[in-house]
Amino acid sequence: MNIRKPRRLERSVIYVSDWVDLYADRVEFPDGRIIDRHHILEFHHDFVGAVVENDEGKILFVQAYRYPLDSLEWEIPTGRVEDGETLIKGAQREVLEESGYETTDHKLIYTFNPINGISAKRFHVVTCRPGLKLGEFDRNEIRAVRWTEKEEIGRLIRNRVLKDGFTLTALLLYLNGME
């Protein structure tokens, strides 16, 4: 089956960095309509988040200041996967950096595209168990660390306390049986 899809006619570079590139594509759609500036973000790394559950059934959260929102947010440990790093190694590193805990029993449960209208960026959700607390968390990036009961997570979602899209998606997948 031949699927008709939009095609790029031109690409203009707007911004390039080590983190993200921004382009404006001229795109022709199957009906002949042309969009002169379809903005595309290209991220250089995938991102991974870890849902860490301890033996008491509590989930690990970190509190980070988010500059674009000018607010403190409770989130699961997340970050970019570095060059040459597997998703599991990236999850291990991020949890250790953001909480001080080593982790074990990692399992990739889901991969999704959070902004697929303008980017091919991929987020990966890993589940794991905490190991030893090896040290302190990165106080430059993280303000606090806490363990939260699953029932409390439901209340935090209903009360709109948890707002981070990656965290919400990961928790909803995990708490609904995606293990």
Per-residue pLDDT tens listing for the chain (179 residues): 678 899 999 999 999 999 999 999 999 999 999 999 999 999 999 999 999 999 999 999 999 999 899 999 999 999 999 999 999 999 999 999 999 999 999 999 999 999 999 999 999 999 999 998 988 888 888 999 999 999 999 999 999 999 999 999 999 999 988 77
Is the domain of 63 the same as that of 140? yes
CA-based R_g, the chain, Å = 19
Is the domain of 51 the same as that of 83? yes
The residue range of the domain holding 36 is 7-43
For residue 2, being part of any structural domain is answered with no
Looking at residue 3, its pLDDT comes to: 81
Looking at residue 171, its pLDDT comes to: 96
Spatial distance between the Cα atoms of 15 and 42, rounded to a whole number of angstroms = 10
Is the domain of 80 the same as that of 136? yes
**CA distance to 19, 49, 53, 120, 141, per residue, from 95 (Å):** 21, 9, 12, 25, 12
Q: What angle do CA 44, 46, 50 make, to 5 degrees?
A: 150
Is the domain of 104 the same as that of 129? yes
For residue 101, being part of any structural domain is answered with yes
For residue 1, being part of any structural domain is answered with no
Is the domain of 58 the same as that of 73? yes
Is the domain of 86 the same as that of 38? no
Is the domain of 36 the same as that of 51? no
Is the domain of 32 the same as that of 67? no
Is the domain of 56 the same as that of 97? yes
Is the domain of 33 the same as that of 68? no
Write the CATH number for 143. 3.90.79.10
Query: What is the phi/psi pair of residue 109, to 5°?
Result: -110, -20
For residue 152, being part of any structural domain is answered with yes
If one counts the domains in the chain, the total is 2
Closest C-alpha among 1, 30, 141 to residue 77: 141
Looking at residue 87, its pLDDT comes to: 97
Is the domain of 148 the same as that of 62? yes
DSSP state of 157: H
Length of the chain: 179
Looking at residue 2, its pLDDT comes to: 74
